Chains A and B, each alone.
Chain A
């Protein structure tokens, strides 16, 4: 929930302090007092504002504007429950008070209750269907919460009655993309581009769609265009960098992330992505530094823990690597790579049975995980269980025919079985792969984690 909250916090909500006071039939004196209270709040003079509001509420205890303002004071004081009660009271008196709905929406976000925020935003959009900002925020929140169908339905419905804004259409593309509807995603992004030909958000979205379709060239072209119209919006820079990382445009990814980090130095997800770029450069020391910083900012970030563990594993700092990787498994949805990395550490630390357990766990989670099969094979080879070793290594080769480690271990297996001919054949494959530089495996490489999501 905390993670969701942090992601959502990218969307900022404004407090509607000065809600068109003139539309209410207030006495001049009341209006003046309310305006003064609002000004005092905006200038961070809460005690004085509170005194002003107390005077109003003494004579008009059910004045919704005053209740709303007092709720704001309480929220600023961190007294969130009292704030909620005041905003709610204001709304009981005036159900259509949009400002109080907005404040309540933001309050629920702070309280880690985004579903309630959704309800408030829906109410705002119902009351003010042309409120583009509220519409976007609602759609964005639905997207961030993973309610993709709701998000899509809302934007599509919105499209019927209003001309949608470019950010909303792009968000629709994002939702379709996340749902796996690549064609519809592409259509939305293109529509956004029709409205605004250099919209970097849409271009990054199109690059991601192209990558998902396996069209790296096209993705690179879109990214190159996006680079030209990139703005200083940290989230956009981040998304651009993630796509660039996937497209192996490491320098572009690095530049974008460094800028994003400059703009929002406390955003852990940017640092995780930057660390992933350093891993590709490769500069393990810089990657380690960045992941450690990310974990300082967000100590429970499982992805950062996994990345740091992997980085330390690559540097053969095994005990610490093990610590971080094990920590990352305490969360839900552990990626199979984590068990694979832990298996490699166990293998290096001579805990072969544990290594086998971990590799098998990785294979159970992802049966096509070639590296885990190969590692299983090499562990069985160490234990001289030649039959199991051969079986796992051959599975590995079937899944990843150009893996030098698999062929090398098969060569060792045959050499130990005194089958020199087959050993030499396997080594010949290793040599061929090396000269073709096919494997992409670096020294000490244990297959890097997937790019950040």
Chain B
């Protein structure tokens, strides 16, 4: 018989534990209450296909052979192709290739905005259906005729659609010289030499064709094929095309230094990381170091990712870089960089140290994304409080991942992080039912399709219908929308620096090019004013060096600003 009185000792622990738990609960509850009081809920509401009229569905050409291009696409865009002041939508689809013959013709889609929240498919009339195994889209007015053109990247042949200004487009790829054969992924229009014309950077992914060895990978246990990790394939150099100003381009990949760095490139963002007025490129690479191409002027770029600390993980490992973006997240006047990676690798928010070095400071974003794989992503001010927030689209590239790795899913949730001024806070759970759903997300574009002054989101899913999300409540704060019309600078005004003051707070934003993944965004800039009821000043420093100072501006309206002329006119909105 024992009189082992463990219960005497244990009871003491139980009491202590209870006390500790109570202390913790009290603390949490107080913190939560404060947070709720401060927050005004803004949600993103999913529009059904019936409501929007967008019935198009992405076909990923999924096959038992699991050819890698199947899982990578595709992109989407907000663009105003007919200059009616309303954002239309372009969606990229797969198509015929050396490994895939569609049973029925596959088309990209151009949806015209009917100004009432619905869209009409005008693809055939516009002549932009594609016809190759499409990947991404970059929108820009390369010939400066006032109508945006569409560049579609693909596995196979890329297409440049010239906008004829009458609702139709013409394939001018061959004439323009921008086919960039191979496997292209992201593309961005920007003006690297500040000559006022939009040049074109096109990311190349791996060297891939049906005849290549290791075209597929097989699980030895299950004998099933899965999508190969890009490590199996050889890298390819990306392309830089210089705009000759006559409808043609010159491939300057080699002389610019871009071709010296073969990569397995996905996302690209054009921005100015060293504030020298020359636009640089940050390119995410999969299983290779990311590239930070610093524009040295005179048509030359130098790759400085290693020294900058943005090429590798903190341990010197390459990661699976996919989506990227850039923004001045902390208002210090310097562009910070973001790159999304695959699960277990963590996403990185690189804070600019102002000397061409960066430190990885993801804060709350890191633990929230540990099990996710990120593609489309964008910094934008969803609540119009003046600082950039962050929206992330996720999805694992391997549709069989759940059979092989626990806790990681093929379809993954969207994430929204609010910029608190001290970092980013995960507000997904309170931002709408759509954040509780999972998607095979890839491309993501941002634009105000209903012209109500807050930015909406378009997501293209791999092998599924796209998702259009309407921002509900972002315009409770005041705002001013700018449509920048360049006369001397590049038509997209990439590189323009907008500085505005409202309610005594001065903020500034550099207009970047590209960002996200395979996608293109509303070119207008919405300046968040918070609760300020007046815009005290707006200054636009154009890439040409011209400065326009604007005063007596309306609020909660879009205005057109012409380089050298200033504020021209305001447009009504749906608010």
Residues of A whose CB lies within 8 Å of any CB of B are: 5-6, 9, 12-15, 17, 42, 72, 75-76, 78, 106, 110, 266, 283, 285, 296-299, 315-317, 348, 350, 378, 382, 384, 404-405, 407-409, 411-412, 415-416, 423, 427, 430, 434, 441, 443-445
Residues of B whose CB lies within 8 Å of any CB of A are: 1-6, 8-10, 13, 16-17, 20, 304, 306-307, 309, 312-317, 319, 344-346, 353, 355, 357, 359-362, 366-367, 370, 406-407
Most buried by B among A12, A266, A412: A412
Report the Cα distance A411→B314, complex, angstroms. Answer: 12
Which one of A76, A110, A299, A407 contacts B316 once the chains associate, using CB atoms below 8 Å? A407
B366 and A316 form a contact (CB under 8 A): yes
Q: Nearest 3 CB-CB pairs, A to B?
A: A408-B316, A316-B366, A415-B307
Report the Cα distance A266→B317, complex, angstroms. Answer: 41
Instruction: Tell me the total A-B contact number using a CB cutoff of 8 A.
Output: 99
A416 and B3 form a contact (CB under 8 A): no
Which one of A110, A412, A434 contacts B9 once the chains associate, using CB atoms below 8 Å? A110
Closest to A83 in B: B3
A430 and B6 form a contact (CB under 8 A): no
Report the Cα distance A13→B2, complex, angstroms. Answer: 7
B315 and A12 form a contact (CB under 8 A): no
B315 and A316 form a contact (CB under 8 A): no
Q: Which residues of B contact A427 (CB under 8 A)?
A: 306, 316
B3 and A405 form a contact (CB under 8 A): no
Tell me the smallest distance from the CB of A251 to a CB of chain B, in Å.
15
B317 and A110 form a contact (CB under 8 A): no
30 residue pairs bridging A and B, Cβ less than 8 Å apart:
A6-B9, A9-B6, A9-B9, A14-B2, A15-B1, A42-B1, A106-B4, A110-B9, A266-B10, A285-B407, A299-B16, A315-B367, A315-B370, A316-B362, A316-B367, A350-B359, A350-B361, A382-B359, A384-B355, A407-B316, A408-B315, A409-B316, A416-B307, A416-B357, A441-B315, A443-B319, A443-B345, A443-B346, A444-B315, A444-B344
B313 and A443 form a contact (CB under 8 A): yes
Most buried by B among A5, A299, A434: A299
Report the Cα distance A434→B314, complex, angstroms. Answer: 14
Report the Cα distance A78→B306, complex, angstroms. Answer: 67
Known: A299-B20, A316-B366, A350-B361. A411 touches B3 (CB 8 A): no
Report the Cα distance A350→B313, complex, angstroms. Answer: 17
Q: Which residues of B contact A316 (CB under 8 A)?
A: 346, 362, 366-367, 370
Tell me the smallest distance from the CB of B522 to a CB of chain A, in Å.
32
Closest to B3 in A: A15
Known: A299-B17, A299-B20, A316-B367. A110 touches B1 (CB 8 A): no
Tell me the smallest distance from the CB of A323 to a CB of chain B, in Å.
11
B1 and A17 form a contact (CB under 8 A): yes
Knowing that A106-B3, A408-B315, A411-B316 are A-B contacts, what are 10 other residue pairs whose CB atoms are under 8 Å apart, sorted by A's residue number? A6-B9, A75-B3, A78-B5, A297-B13, A404-B317, A405-B316, A408-B316, A415-B306, A430-B316, A444-B345
Tell me the smallest distance from the CB of A349 to a CB of chain B, in Å.
8
B8 and A405 form a contact (CB under 8 A): no
A445 and B315 form a contact (CB under 8 A): yes
B2 and A12 form a contact (CB under 8 A): yes
Q: Which residues of A contact B319 (CB under 8 A)?
A: 443
A408 and B346 form a contact (CB under 8 A): no
B317 and A443 form a contact (CB under 8 A): yes
Closest to A415 in B: B307
Report the Cα distance A298→B9, complex, angstroms. Answer: 12
Tell me the smallest distance from the CB of B4 to a CB of chain A, in Å.
5
Q: Which residues of A contact B346 (CB under 8 A)?
A: 316, 443-444
Most buried by A among B10, B360, B370: B370
Tell me the smallest distance from the CB of B34 to a CB of chain A, in Å.
16
Q: Which residues of B contact A110 (CB under 8 A)?
A: 5, 8-9
Tell me the smallest distance from the CB of A317 to a CB of chain B, in Å.
5
Known: A350-B359, A444-B346. A434 touches B317 (CB 8 A): yes
Report the Cα distance A120→B463, complex, angstroms. Answer: 77
B367 and A317 form a contact (CB under 8 A): yes
Which one of B17, B316, B367 contacts A296 once the chains associate, using CB atoms below 8 Å? B17
Report the Cα distance A444→B347, complex, angstroms. Answer: 11
Most buried by A among B4, B16, B344: B4
Tell me the smallest distance from the CB of B308 to a CB of chain A, in Å.
9
Q: Which residues of A contact B1 (CB under 8 A)?
A: 14-15, 17, 42
Report the Cα distance A15→B315, complex, angstroms. Answer: 59
B20 and A408 form a contact (CB under 8 A): no
Q: Which residues of B contact A348 (CB under 8 A)?
A: 360-361
A423 and B306 form a contact (CB under 8 A): yes
B10 and A404 form a contact (CB under 8 A): no
Q: Which residues of A contact B314 (CB under 8 A)?
A: 378, 405
Known: A285-B407, A316-B367. A15 touches B316 (CB 8 A): no
Tell me the smallest distance from the CB of A203 to a CB of chain B, in Å.
29
Tell me the smallest distance from the CB of B427 to a CB of chain A, in Å.
18
Most buried by A among B8, B306, B344: B306
Closest to B365 in A: A316
Q: Which residues of A contact B316 (CB under 8 A)?
A: 404-405, 407-409, 411, 427, 430
Q: Which residues of A contact B8 (CB under 8 A)?
A: 78, 110
B13 and A299 form a contact (CB under 8 A): yes
B5 and A76 form a contact (CB under 8 A): yes
Report the Cα distance A378→B359, complex, angstroms. Answer: 11
Q: Which residues of B contact A443 (CB under 8 A)?
A: 313, 315, 317, 319, 344-346
Closest to A9 in B: B6
Report the Cα distance A12→B6, complex, angstroms. Answer: 10
Q: Which residues of B contact A297 (CB under 8 A)?
A: 13
Tell me the smallest distance from the CB of B322 to a CB of chain A, in Å.
15
Report the Cα distance A408→B311, complex, angstroms. Answer: 11
Q: Which residues of B contact A72 (CB under 8 A)?
A: 3
B3 and A76 form a contact (CB under 8 A): yes
Report the Cα distance A296→B21, complex, angstroms. Answer: 9
Known: A348-B361, A416-B357. A15 touches B2 (CB 8 A): yes
Report the Cα distance A25→B1, complex, angstroms. Answer: 25
Report the Cα distance A66→B188, complex, angstroms. Answer: 94
Report the Cα distance A103→B357, complex, angstroms. Answer: 70
Q: Which residues of A contact B359 (CB under 8 A)?
A: 350, 382
Report the Cα distance A39→B194, complex, angstroms. Answer: 100
Closest to A417 in B: B307
Report the Cα distance A315→B370, complex, angstroms. Answer: 7
Closest to A429 in B: B316
Q: Which residues of B contact A405 (CB under 8 A)?
A: 314-316
Report the Cα distance A120→B315, complex, angstroms. Answer: 57
Report the Cα distance A126→B313, complex, angstroms. Answer: 65
Report the Cα distance A42→B2, complex, angstroms. Answer: 9
Report the Cα distance A272→B485, complex, angstroms. Answer: 64
Report the Cα distance A76→B6, complex, angstroms. Answer: 11
A412 and B309 form a contact (CB under 8 A): yes
Report the Cα distance A326→B568, complex, angstroms. Answer: 60
Tell me the smallest distance from the CB of B210 to a CB of chain A, in Å.
28
Report the Cα distance A351→B345, complex, angstroms. Answer: 23
Report the Cα distance A445→B314, complex, angstroms. Answer: 10
Report the Cα distance A415→B16, complex, angstroms. Answer: 54
Q: Which residues of A contact B317 (CB under 8 A)?
A: 404, 434, 441, 443
Report the Cα distance A161→B353, complex, angstroms. Answer: 75
Report the Cα distance A115→B5, complex, angstroms. Answer: 19
Report the Cα distance A445→B353, complex, angstroms. Answer: 25
Q: Which residues of B contact A298 (CB under 8 A)?
A: 13
Tell me the smallest distance from the CB of A75 to a CB of chain B, in Å.
6
Tell me the smallest distance from the CB of B389 to a CB of chain A, in Å.
20
Tell me the smallest distance from the CB of A341 to a CB of chain B, in Å.
14
Tell me the smallest distance from the CB of A284 to a CB of chain B, in Å.
8
Q: Which residues of A contact B362 (CB under 8 A)?
A: 316
A412 and B366 form a contact (CB under 8 A): no
Q: Which residues of B contact A283 (CB under 8 A)?
A: 406-407
Report the Cα distance A423→B319, complex, angstroms. Answer: 20
Tell me the smallest distance from the CB of B209 to a CB of chain A, in Å.
26
Closest to B366 in A: A316
Q: Which residues of B contact A384 (CB under 8 A)?
A: 355
Report the Cα distance A297→B315, complex, angstroms. Answer: 36
